[in-house]
Structure 1
Amino acid sequence: MSSAMPAPLRFDDRLPLLGIAAWSGTGKTTLLERLLPRLTARGMRAAVIKHAHHAFDVDQPGKDSHRLRQAGAAPMLVASGARWALMMETPGQQEADLAALIETVRPLAPDLVLVEGFKAWPLPKLELYRAELGQPLRVADDPWIKAVASDAPLVTPPGVDALALDDLEAIADWVLAWPARWPTEQVPRLE
């Protein structure tokens, strides 16, 4: 993230947001990969916005969509009966704009938007913590963290739930309850 403060996010009761924040190597993607089928099986439609720290491409060089995007289409949307993908070049932008990405998924009306990465952005978060990585807990410095899922017992600040990182069912229950809590959780903890 650049040194500039992240833009404010537009919160409303109809689109619950929950960040998944952790140090690299903690297992954010792995947790989401295991969590999403449980949420889906229990009737929740969860969108995911994932931050990438490097240039990436979901398109294949030589394909029509890639050629048209390279020619200047902005955005480029490619669709079939099975899926669609929207690609947008963002030249000159230092970081992804989470506020704009949320507005992109808003019309799709998911039950919840899970945001992987974007840890500096001001939004409610579930922190994942692995003691063996030797990194500090973020919860002490980030008043937006609402729960910590850890592989070691820990004491969390008042108002922050403690979850076991290996108890996927408990984490799923907590995430499934999040949309009901969302209207009262759209603010940071008082320090």
Structure 2
Amino acid sequence: MQLIGLAGWSGAGKTTLLTRLIPCLARRGLGVSTLKHAHHRFDVDMPGKDSWKHREAGARQVLVASEQRWALMTELRGAPEPDLRFLLSRLSPVDLVIVEGFKRDSLPKIEVHRVENGKPWLHPEDPRIAAIASDVRPPATDLPWAPLDDADSVADLVQRFAVDAAAWMG
């Protein structure tokens, strides 16, 4: 299993890029999973549903399954937020995992940058940035670059800089 991260400010286009990258990489014969860090309180459950009632009653885990998908919800209930290595160990094996978020982790990342956001570039301060996907060529860097709207070129960068997940996890 290979591993690569996408890093960028909110509104840079990470999710849009991912939704274009996944089918592009699938056409290349790769099975892809994603792991996204949510920066705010989120919920996949709906108030009033049975699974929500189970969690509200105090269940530590609730597994919901149907003929189309299954989802396991784990309530932390004051326990520390799980780290990236733990979460990766919960995924089924695939060819490639693309991680969105987890900025502090040491995995190689592709910076996603959109100039109109007015945010600073990440790569000058983050040595783990291996390449850049942006709407303009980045100034003063030797890092490989691909246009943000060219999914095939970004997919080339993903395949070039992804690392073996087992080796990275140590």
**Range of TM-score over shorter length:** 0.7 to 0.9
CA distance in 1, matches of 2:83, 2:77: 13
Identical counterparts, % of pairs = 48
Shift of 1:38: 1.5
Q: Aligned pair count?
A: 166
The answer to whether the Cα contact below 8 Å between 2:130 and 2:161 also exists between their aligned partners in 1 is: no
State whether residues 78 and 86 of structure 1, in contact with CA within 8 Å, keep that contact through their aligned partners in structure 2: yes
Alignment of 1:67-82 (within 5 A): 67-82=53-68
The alpha-carbon deviation at position 148 of structure 1 amounts to 0.6
Per-residue CA distance 1:67-103 (angstroms, 9 max, x = gap): 2222222221111121000111123356552222111
Supply the distance in 1 between the matched residues of 2:134 and 2:29 (Cα, whole angstroms).
26
Give me the CA root mean square deviation.
Answer: 2.1
Q: Deviations over 1:105-134 (max 9, x none)?
A: 1xx101111111122222110101112222
Is the strand fraction higher in 1 or 2?
A: 2
- Normalising by the residue count of structure 2, what TM-score does the alignment of the two structures yield? 0.86
Q: Does 1:43 align with 2:22?
A: no
Per mean C-alpha deviation after superposition, the further-off stretch among 54-63 and 76-85 is 54-63
Aligned residue in 1 for 2:121: 137
Change (3 A) 1:25 1:94: farther
The amino acid across from 1:78 in the alignment is V
Partner of 1:167: 150
What TM-score comes out, normalization by structure 1 length? 0.78
Contact 1:130 1:151 in 2 (8 A): yes
Q: Which runs of 4+ in 1 moved over 6 A?
A: none
1:123 counterpart (94, 97, 107): 107
Q: Highest relative contact order (Cα 8 Å, sep 6+), 1 or 2? A: 2
Judge conservation of contact 1:148–1:156 (CA < 8 Å) in 2. Answer: no
Distance 2:80 2:135 in 1: 34
Supply the distance in 2 between the matched residues of 1:137 and 1:53 (Cα, whole angstroms). Answer: 20
Q: Distance in 1 between matches of 2:60 and 2:140?
A: 45
Long gaps (5+) in structure 2: none
Q: What is the aligned partner in structure 1 of residue 89 from structure 2?
A: 103
Residues 123 and 38 of structure 1, relative CA distance in 2, 3 Å threshold: same
Which ranges in structure 1 are unaligned for 5 or more consecutive residues? 1-14
1:32 is aligned to 18
